[in-house]
């Protein structure tokens, strides 16, 4: 089964019949492994821009019920071809990194997301996964105050969101490990919410902001609960944080030939034991290192 990520569908083929967008040749594909991090980030951004262009064109085409314009359909097709070509280019980029190969082995993580993480994160500057979370906007203590510099990287934060969307999308697939984590966490969050575990936070939100009484947020907060959208977001965020913790462990080992000082999945996220990364046996020496630590 082909692994997809939320960054798009697989290449359905047929692009050779659409000459308007030039296809990548072998020389161009070989040069992909020489991309700088800045260039890779540019390609990742270009991919998502093309994806949004395709979606808008398709939506416009569907809205023209009586007489759809063939030019709008053509534009959507060109965006799709470009999307697939960029995704094709980013595959060897991700595969050229040992950490990228591990990421690609994870169901729900494809070449665009893998390349984006590789291009945005400098593992040498991340002794703990907390550094990665903070850089991607996952540190709630870092507030973006008006007139001040953004305290996180917007591109990386977007990738975190897309990772969560992917795990949610594939949560009904048993092969998607983090999709299962998302489902389990959502069930826990729903149970906790129904038992009043979020009452203090709900009260705080009502006092901090003015919500319209007809909004879903107000209807939930007024009875001491979180709205369904926030429950789902919490579950997705939990799964993403665990994935990033595992990615950090793998990547740190590959880079430094030693394990991080304190893996986050020990004593955190409701776990008292270390949770080994999926497919860790694919990373040379990692299984022995984990065993020596007794994890």
107 and 241 inside one domain: no
Nearest to 180 by CA among 190, 189, 167: 167
Cα 52 from Cα 57, distance rounded (Å): 9
Cα 137 from Cα 142, distance rounded (Å): 8
pLDDT for residue 10:
39
8 and 67 inside one domain: yes
Q: Is residue 143 part of a domain?
A: no
pLDDT for residue 267:
41
88 and 181 inside one domain: no
Nearest to 48 by CA among 106, 90, 1, 107: 90
pLDDT for residue 207:
94
98 and 196 inside one domain: no
pLDDT for residue 186:
97
Q: Is residue 131 part of a domain?
A: no
Q: Quote the crossing angle between the two packed helices 154-169 and 228-256, to the nearest 10°.
A: 110
Q: Is residue 137 part of a domain?
A: no
Q: Quote the crossing angle between the two packed helices 111-120 and 70-95, to the nearest 10°.
A: 60
Cα 9 from Cα 147, distance rounded (Å): 39
Cα 1 from Cα 18, distance rounded (Å): 27
Q: How many CB atoms lie within 10 A of CB 252?
A: 22
216 and 82 inside one domain: no
pLDDT for residue 11:
40
* Residue labelled with tokens 């009260």: 203
User: What residues have CB less than 8 Å from 119, skipping those under 6 apart?
Assistant: 37, 38, 40, 41, 44
pLDDT for residue 230:
97
93 and 160 inside one domain: no
pLDDT for residue 291:
87
66 and 176 inside one domain: no
DSSP character for 265?
Answer: T
Q: Is residue 40 part of a domain?
A: yes
Q: How many domains does the chain have?
A: 2
User: What residues have CB less than 8 Å from 102, skipping those under 6 apart?
Assistant: 247, 250, 251, 277, 279, 282, 283
220 and 286 inside one domain: yes
188 and 59 inside one domain: no
Cα 227 from Cα 238, distance rounded (Å): 17
- The series of mean pLDDT values per 10 residues for the chain, 295 residues long, is 45 46 69 87 92 82 67 80 89 95 98 97 95 93 84 94 98 97 96 97 94 95 97 97 95 95 55 77 92 79
168 and 294 inside one domain: yes
115 and 158 inside one domain: no
* Residue labelled with tokens 């995704």: 87
Determine the structural domain holding residue 30 and report its residue range: 1-120
Cα 291 from Cα 295, distance rounded (Å): 6
Under 8 Å between Cβ of 261 and 229? no
pLDDT for residue 80:
83
Q: Is residue 276 part of a domain?
A: yes
Q: Is residue 144 part of a domain?
A: no
111 and 50 inside one domain: yes
Nearest to 2 by CA among 183, 175, 236, 159: 175
Q: In this structure, what token pair is assigned to residue 211?
A: 């919500």
Q: Is residue 141 part of a domain?
A: no
Q: Is residue 250 part of a domain?
A: yes
């Amino acid at each position: 089964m082909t692994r997809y990520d939320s960054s798009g569908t697989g290449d359905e083929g047929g692009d050779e019949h659409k000459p308007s967008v030039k296809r990548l040749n072998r020389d161009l594909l070989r040069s992909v492994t020489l991309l700088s991090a800045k260039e890779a980030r540019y390609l990742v951004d270009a991919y998502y821009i093309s994806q949004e262009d395709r979606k808008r064109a398709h939506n416009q085409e569907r809205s023209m019920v009586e007489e759809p314009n063939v030019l709008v359909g053509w534009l959507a097709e060109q965006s799709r071809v470009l999307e697939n070509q960029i995704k094709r280019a980013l595959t060897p980029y991700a595969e050229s990194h040992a950490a990228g190969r591990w990421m690609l082995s994870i169901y729900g993580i494809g070449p665009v997301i893998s390349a984006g993480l590789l291009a945005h994160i400098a593992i040498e500057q991340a002794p703990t996964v907390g550094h990665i979370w903070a850089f991607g906007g996952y540190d709630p203590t870092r507030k973006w105050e008006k007139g001040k510099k953004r305290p996180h990287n917007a591109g990386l934060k977007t990738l975190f969101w897309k990772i969560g969307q992917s795990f949610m999308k594939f949560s009904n697939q048993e092969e998607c490990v983090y999709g299962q984590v998302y489902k389990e966490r959502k069930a826990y969050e729903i149970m906790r919410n129904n038992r009043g575990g979020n009452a203090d936070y709900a009260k705080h939100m009502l006092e901090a902001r003015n919500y319209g009484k007809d909004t879903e947020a107000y209807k939930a907060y007024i009875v001491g609960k979180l709205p369904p959208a926030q429950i789902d977001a919490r579950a997705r965020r939990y799964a993403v944080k665990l994935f990033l913790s595992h990615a950090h462990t793998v990547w740190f080992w590959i880079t430094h030939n030693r394990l991080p000082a304190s893996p986050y999945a020990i004593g955190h996220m409701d776990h008292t034991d270390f949770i080994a990364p999926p497919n860790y046996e694919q990373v040379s020496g990692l299984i022995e290192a984990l065993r020596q630590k007794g994890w």
